[in-house]
């Protein structure tokens, strides 16, 4: 299809004279919520609920489930889509579960309406019954291919005499209803991000509106519902631009005013092309399972196409609502940048969430990993305080919540994971020296109050002096003994959070392990 877009004088969304703003997100329940869909949903919400454009007059955000393609339906997908939207904090004012003045909001419950409207277009001469069999259509396609012509319906039934149509319908012949696209001239419409877009009508085929099973196609249901639900602005992905001229013609055929269109830029993969499953996670549910925070994912998605200025990056939902304007949405595609999303997630974990809030979010991940019992999410549960203390120490190392079990296990299990005894021996240190140092620690530790970090530090530094080793030569084996690792947060705070009894037990085990190691060596 040919399109010419003038991008020089970008139109402004006509807002002032509108009595109200009504927008919709209308996913098909054919799978999980793709982040591109989540972005469209969010821009709808920001436009409707944002206060910037309309002097405090809140618009309406509608969720509509477009489930008329029965072959592509996935069981439970609508519920999953709704859960993912709610997880992202995107709430609708009207929709399947909350109801509203235009209910029902599930298209499969509105099929009579679509049939009536298809019939209306047939009666007014804007649509027609087509009796072509799938075999004939396949043959037409083959011939077109052989002639190197673009594929498309050859309008075989477009001008059948009314009497013949009536007779065939009376005998029960199966038919679809096709839209009678004008064959000359052009269709123009304004895209709020791109300016005027022009399509040559002869490039657009007579698409099916009503299928043989009596279900509408996307085009019919979408246009009828956008009108009946009084949608004022359509924010949807740029991949829908080629369907817009057909829709504009359908509005004209019905005698309706079309909504305003804004086709949102696509999200591209880092390697180019539309972001899809083969580039890794694309579904909101997957990001959730990996421990991305809804705040961070939302913030990240908002910036894939919109910006306030050239430097502000962190926006709460309230900030976005306050600042979002369609004028600052770019029509150019943006590239999905996982390291940037990771940065954003870590920023929220480390700087925006309170430790209590973060603890509550980490707990389900620890729970699934079997590290803590059910019920620990309750702040009064004994495990909560322990997780909270570990979270406070580790939050600057946590990029995603799903890293928490691995990062935190030694704070939560009785024992550390098995480690190599050689790790207990610092560089340039004799194993026997490391052993006597650790033995000395096991002797002083019971006399120390491990919750007093400063006192523990002073005593252990003094001990290093008494043993004639550097502080590091003493601290490193202690760290390995109590964590099973060579890296951890600060030693004394780590000891405090692990606790007296577990530290003493682990040091005892480390001494035994190192004795064996020394004996073998
Ligand atoms: N049901 C379509 C989809 O799945 C909606 C497209 C539109 O917003 O018009 O994306």
pLDDT at position 373 is: 85
Q: Which residues carry out catalysis?
A: 277
Q: Which of 243, 304, 331, 325 is nearest to 13 (CA)?
A: 325
**Predicted confidence (pLDDT) at residue 18 exceeds the cutoff of 80:** no
pLDDT tens-digit series, residues 83-138 = 999 999 999 999 999 999 999 999 999 999 999 999 999 999 999 999 999 999 99
For the ranges 18-27, 95-104, 200-209, the lowest mean pLDDT is seen at 18-27
Ligand 1 atom closest to Cα of residue 24: 8
Q: Ligand 1 atom 3: the closest Cα is on which residue?
A: 27
Residue 25 alpha carbon to ligand 1 centre in Å: 8
Task: Share the mean pLDDT of the chain.
Answer: 93
**Measured CA angle at 321 (ends 316, 324), to 5 deg:** 105
Q: How far apart are CA 458 and CA 82, in angstroms?
A: 56
Q: How far apart are CA 237 and CA 257, in angstroms?
A: 21
Question: pTM above 0.75?
Answer: yes
CA 234 to ligand 1: nearest atom: 8
Rounded Cα distance between 484 and 410, Å, is 8
pLDDT of residue 57: 74
The predicted pLDDT at position 278 comes to 80
Cα–Cα distances in Å, from 129 out to 173, 204, 210, 216, 470? 10, 18, 9, 13, 91
> How many Å apart are CA 64 and CA 461, to the nearest integer?
66
The CA 81 to ligand 1 mean position distance, Å, reads 13
Number of helices (H), then strands (E), in the chain: 19, 12
* Those residues with Cβ within 8 angstroms of residue 214's Cβ, 6 or more apart along the chain or in another chain: 111, 115
pLDDT of residue 520: 82
Ligand 1 atom closest to the CA of 222, numbered from 1: 9
Q: List, for residues 151-165, the tens digit of each pLDDT value.
A: 999 999 999 999 999
Pocket of ligand 1 (CB under 6 A): 26-28, 66, 218, 222, 236, 240
- The greatest distance separating any two alpha carbons of the chain, rounded to the nearest whole angstrom, comes to 110
Residue 67 CA to ligand 1 center (angstroms) comes to: 10
- The DSSP result for 131-194, as a single string, is ---HHHHHHHHHHHHHTTPPP----TTTT--HHHHHHHHHTT---EEEE---SSSEEEEEETTT
Query: Which value, in Å, is the radius of gyration of the alpha carbons in the chain?
Result: 32
Nearest CA to 169 among 119, 203, 239? 119
Pairwise CA distance, residues 437 & 430, whole Å: 11
Q: What is the pLDDT of residue 177?
A: 98
Phi/psi at 313 (5° precision)? -120, -25
Residue listed under structure tokens 């490039």: 203
Q: Separation of 28 CA from ligand 1 center, angstroms?
A: 7
**What b/e string do you get for 405-424 counting C-beta neighbours within 10 Å, with b at 16 or more?**
bebbbbbbeeebeebebebb
Query: Is it the case that residue 204 has pLDDT exceeding 80?
Result: yes
pLDDT at 8: 44
Backbone angles phi, psi at 197, to 5 degrees: -120, 135
Omega of the bond leading into 104 within 30 degrees of 0 (cis)? yes
SS3 of residue 64 by DSSP: coil
> Domains in the chain, start-ordered, CATH in brackets?
277-346 (1.10.1160.10), 353-412 (1.10.8), 421-520 (1.10.10.350)
């Amino acid at each position: 299809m040919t399109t010419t877009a003038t991008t020089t004088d970008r139109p402004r969304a006509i807002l002032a004279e509108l009595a109200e703003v009504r927008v919709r997100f209308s996913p098909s329940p054919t799978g999980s919520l793709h982040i591109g869909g989540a972005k469209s949903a969010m821009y709808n919400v920001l436009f409707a609920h944002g206060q910037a454009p309309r002097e405090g007059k809140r618009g309406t955000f509608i969720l509509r489930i477009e489930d008329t393609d029965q072959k592509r339906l996935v069981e439970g997908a609508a519920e999953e889509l709704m859960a993912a939207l709610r997880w992202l904090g995107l709430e609708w004012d009207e929709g399947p579960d909350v109801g509203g003045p235009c209910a029902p909001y599930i298209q499969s419950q509105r099929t009579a309406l679509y049939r009536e409207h298809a019939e209306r277009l047939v009666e007014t001469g804007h649509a027609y019954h087509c009796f072509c069999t799938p075999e004939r259509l396949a043959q037409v396609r083959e011939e077109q291919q052989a002639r190197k012509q673009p594929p498309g319906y050859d309008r075989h039934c477009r001008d059948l005499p009314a009497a013949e149509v009536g007779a065939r319908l009376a005998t029960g012949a199966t038919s679809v209803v096709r839209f009678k696209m004008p064959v000359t001239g052009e269709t123009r419409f304004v895209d709020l991000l791109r300016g005027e877009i022009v399509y040559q009508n002869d490039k657009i085929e007579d698409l099916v509106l009503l299928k043989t099973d009596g279900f509408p196609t996307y085009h019919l249901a979408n246009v009828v519902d956008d009108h009946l639900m009084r949608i004022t602005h359509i924010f949807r992905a740029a991949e829908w631009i080629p369907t817009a001229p057909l829709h504009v013609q359908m509005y004209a055929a019905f005698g309706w005013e079309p909504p305003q269109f804004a086709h949102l830029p696509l999200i591209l993969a880092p390697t180019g092309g539309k972001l899809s499953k083969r580039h890794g996670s694309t579904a909101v549910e997957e990001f959730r399972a990996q421990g991305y925070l809804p705040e961070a994912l939302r913030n990240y998605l908002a910036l894939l196409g919109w910006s306030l200025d050239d430097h502000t990056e962190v926006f709460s939902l309230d900030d976005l609502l306050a600042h979002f304007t369609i004028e600052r949405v770019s029509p150019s595609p943006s590239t999905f940048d996982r390291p940037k999303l990771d940065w954003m997630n870590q920023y929220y974990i480390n700087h925006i969430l309170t430790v209590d809030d973060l603890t509550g979010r980490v707990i389900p991940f620890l729970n699934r990993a079997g590290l803590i019992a059910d019920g620990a999410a309750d702040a009064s549960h004994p495990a909560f305080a322990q997780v909270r203390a570990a979270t406070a120490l580790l939050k600057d190392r946590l990029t995603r919540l799903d890293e928490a079990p691995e990062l935190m296990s030694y704070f939560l299990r009785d024992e550390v994971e098995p480690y190599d005894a050689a790790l207990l021996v610092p560089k340039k240190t004799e194993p026997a020296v490391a052993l006597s140092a650790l033995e000395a620690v096991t002797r002083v530790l019971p006399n120390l109050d491990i919750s007093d970090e400063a006192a523990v530090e002073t005593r252990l530094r003094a001990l290093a002096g008494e043993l004639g080793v550097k502080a590091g030569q003493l601290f490193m084996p202690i760290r390995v003994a109590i964590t099973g690792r060579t890296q951890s947060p600060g030693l004394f705070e780590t000891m405090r959070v692990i606790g007296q009894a577990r530290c003493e037990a682990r040091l005892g085990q480390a001494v035994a392990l190192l004795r064996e190691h020394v004996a073998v060596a």
